[in-house]
Amino acid sequence: MRVAGWLAAEMLSGGQGKPFSPGGVVALLRGETQESVDDLLVGTTENRYGFIQAKRAIDFSEKVDSDFGSVIDQMVRQVVERPTDGVRRPWTRELTPANDRLLLITSSRSSEKIKVLLRDILVRARSLAKGQPLIDAAVNDAERTVLEATIATAMSYWRRATGAEATEQDIQNLLSLMSIQVLDMEDGEGGEREAVRTLGTQVIVDRQQEGAGWSSVLQACRTMVERRSGLKEGKPDDIHDR
């Protein structure tokens, strides 16, 4: 919910939500969605979408049935599954690294293997040349261990979701969509201070009211999550049911 508040502050200020959105001015937020990656959906004016799983803290694990494995499971299903209700939505299309992101947003409390090693691996995965092996996304032994375990977990969940084996290109496309970002949003932490500052300098006329403004944003996000609804650019007080 606090990650949603950070993005809502960006939306109210006309910001791009970097690096926690896929590019363009934040124009849409939805909470507790019906997507496979279901915590948050962020959309931008460039028709780009970010599917967010938010974890206060998460440890890296080579076990398929782990908290980390469940995140990979959701991201695999976001790529391979299609809506069962037959309804087309702007974000129910083939995802591309140029326009979309599968985001794990966590705090500095998460393990180094998640917030540093895997984060850097995923950045490199997006920049590999056509035909370049995926293992090149890792540059040392520690990163190779993390990458190989992530690939094995992704392949296991791909098999469960599709009944078929993933190719290396399938996994490279998946990892190219994935991104890990660190955002500390507890009371008084850096992310919260940044969101409050954004409201105070770009949204609220009276800076003495920035704390109250932040509380209002959090309440709007709480309502959004409870109703499994959304907030739209230019209409910060509206809640739109699906």
Predicted local confidence at residue 82, as pLDDT: 85
Q: How far is the CA of 45 from the CAs of 16, 49, 103, in angstroms? A: 9, 10, 18
Q: What is the pLDDT of residue 125?
A: 96
Both structure tokens of 39: 């915590």
Q: What is the phi/psi pair of residue 208, to 5°?
A: -70, -15
Q: What is the DSSP code string of 120-173?
A: HHHHHHTTPPTT--GGGG--SHHHHHHHHHHHHHHHHHHHHHHSSPPPHHHHHH
Whether pLDDT at 235 is above 60? no
State pLDDT tens for residues 135-177: 999 999 999 999 999 999 999 999 999 999 999 999 999 999 9
pLDDT of residue 130: 87
In the predicted model, what is the mean pLDDT of residues 71-97?
91
In the chain, % of residues over pLDDT 70:
96
- Helix or strand holding residue 21 (H, E): none
Q: Tokens 């469940």 appear where? A: 70
Average pLDDT estimate for 93-109: 95
- The pLDDT tens digits for 174-199 are 999 999 999 999 999 999 999 999 99
Instruction: Note the pLDDT of residue 240.
Output: 33
The per-residue pLDDT for 234 is 62
pLDDT of residue 84: 79
Q: Give residue 127's pLDDT.
A: 94
**Residue 236 pLDDT class (50, 70, 90 cuts):** very low
* Beta-carbon-side half-sphere exposure of residue 235 (alpha carbons within 13 Å): 8
Give CA angle at 137 (170, 3), nearest 5°.
80
Q: Taking the model in full, what pTM does it have?
A: 0.92
